[in-house]
Amino acid sequence: MSNEFVPLFYGFNFYLFGLIAIASALLFVTRKSPVAAAMWLVNVMFCLAALYVMLDAQFIGAIQVIVYAGAIMVVFLFVVMLLNLGHAGAVSDLRGNAGRLAAGFVGLAMLAEVMVLARTKFPDAMTLKAVHGLGPVDGTAGVIGPIAGPLFNEYLLAFELTSMLLLTAIVGAVVIGKKRNPDAR
């Protein structure tokens, strides 16, 4: 791999993911169906995760996928379905048999991929060392260390205050959402 090739490759990936992210963000705000909008937001999150990985922040990238694209979007969709805002019949983005076939094909392909990966034996050099978490094995602290260190030293107060903020929000949500007890007076 020549030296000129690396920046080119890097630049290509940057613009690729950047453009996909912007396009997905535009689609996200213009979709009529909340479910479709949420799905485009997932796409934005994935592209951002890719950009984080390109910045050598693999841990943040993984967290981005797990927390934003995973957990938070599931909650979004859950709320959308709970409030029955989806109106799946009216403005579904999945139309006709072609879409269903494509979805089934993608699902089968991913299942096949998982099964193949589960059976393959990788050479030692390709596997991540579990001791260092997700990080590459060159340093002592890996990728998580540089985040964990400041988080629990310099930014300890901010970190603890964040937990305070979340606790306040949870208590507030419970107080607002609690069913009124008719005998309580």
Partner 1 sequence: MTFDLLNPVQLSSALLPDLLLVAGAILLMLMAAWRPDSDARQRTVGFASIGLLVLTMGLVVWMAVSGLTASDKGVIAVDGFRWMVDLVVLLGAIGTIALAIEHNVRDGIVQAESHVLVLFATSGMMILAGARDLMVVFLGIEIMSVAVYVLAGLNRRSARSAEASLKYFLLGAFATGFLLYGIALVYGATGQTQIVEIGNAIRRFDLTNDPMLLVGIGLMLIGMGFKVAAAPFHMWAPDVYDGSPTPISAFMAATVKAAAFATFMRIWYEAFYNMFSGWAPSVWWLAVVTMVVGNVVALSQKNIKRMLAYSSIVHSGYLLVAVTAASALASTAFTFYVVAYTLATFGAFAVVASMQQLGETDARISDYEGLWHVRPWLATAMAVYLLALLGFPVFGGVGFFAKWYLIQAALAAPAGLTILAVILVLTSVISAGYYLQVVRVMFMKPRPEGAPEPLPVGSLTRAVLAVTVVLILGLGLFPSRLVEMTQMNAFPRYPFSPALQMGQPQFRR
**Residues at the interface with partner 1 (CB under 8 A):** 153, 155-158, 161-162, 164-165, 167-169, 171-176, 178, 180-181, 184-185
Q: Least distance to partner 1 from the beta carbon of 113, Å? A: 39
Is the Cβ–Cβ distance between 70 and 45 less than 8 Å?
no
Measured from the CB atom, the residue of 30 and 168 that comes closer to partner 1 is 168
d(CA 18, CA 10): 12
Q: In the bound complex, what is the minimum distance in angstroms from residue 69's beta carbon to partner 1?
A: 22
Complex with partner 1: residue 29 or 125, whichever CB lies closer: 29
Q: Which is nearer to partner 1, 12 or 152 (CB)?
A: 152
Question: What's the token pair of residue 176?
Answer: 């607002």
The residue count of the chain comes to: 185
93 and 33 Cβ atoms separated by less than 8 Å: yes
CB of 105 to partner 1, least distance (A): 41
* Cβ(29)–Cβ(37) below 8 Å: yes
* DSSP-assigned letter for residue 125: G
C-alpha–C-alpha distance, residues 148 and 164, integer Å = 19
Pairwise CA distance, residues 54 & 61, whole Å: 9
CB of 25 to partner 1, least distance (A): 16
Please name the residues in contact with 23: beta carbons below 8 A apart, sequence gap of 6 or more. none
Min separation Cβ 173 and partner 1, Å: 8
| Residue among 97 and 153 whose Cβ is closer to partner 1 | 153
Nearer Cβ to partner 1, position 115 or 165?
165
Question: Distance between CA atoms of 33 and 114, rounded to whole angstroms?
Answer: 31
Q: Which is nearer to partner 1, 102 or 169 (CB)?
A: 169
The minimum distance between CB 175 and partner 1, in angstroms, equals: 5
